[in-house]
Amino acid sequence: MLIDLDSKEEVTLAGMNNGTGTMSAKMFACDKGKIIPTRIHPGGSIGLHRQESGDDINFVISGTGKALCDGKEEILRAGVCHICPQGSEHSIINTGNEDLVLMTVVVHR
């Protein structure tokens, strides 16, 4: 299956999961999961929430930030991957001066 993410509409969201600032994202979704190219803008965050739909895999393309997963802090930078297993709680925070760019894959199980 070929997925053309460039053809997906980008939406800008404020305060995702009671987070701060804004983020922009595109989304492909099917019964197996989701693929979500995401940009968390400077000063923005995705608020703390329980990952109910599946494992949330976030590969950092550029920028800097931190993830909090089940109370543990993880430093995010280009080339690292933050995984939040289904049932865990996490948030992602942009700590830099440029967009925190992620490729997020949610795997339903």
Q: In this structure, what are the phi and psi dihedrals at residue 108, rounded to the nearest 5 degrees? A: -75, 140
> Is it the case that residue 64 has pLDDT exceeding 90?
yes
Q: Class of 12-107 per CATH?
A: mainly beta
Residue 86: how many CB atoms within 10 A of its CB? 15
SS3 letters for the chain? CCCCHHHCCCEEEECHHHCCCEEEECCEEECCEEEEEEEECCCCEEEEEECCCCEEEEEEEECEEEEEECCEEEEEECCCEEEECCCCEEEEEECCCCCEEEEEEEECC
* pLDDT band at residue 97 using 50, 70 and 90 as cut-offs: very high
Cα(53)–Cα(108) distance, integer angstroms: 6
Q: What is the pLDDT of residues 16-28, one digit of tens each?
A: 999 999 999 999 9
Range 1-19 average pLDDT:
94
Residue ranges of domains in the chain = 12-107
Beta bridge partners of 10: none
User: What one-character DSSP code corresponds to residue 27?
Assistant: -
Cα(36)–Cα(25) distance, integer angstroms: 6
Q: What is the pLDDT of residues 28-41, one digit of tens each?
A: 999 999 999 999 99
Amino acid at 33: G
> Is it the case that residue 1 has pLDDT exceeding 90?
no
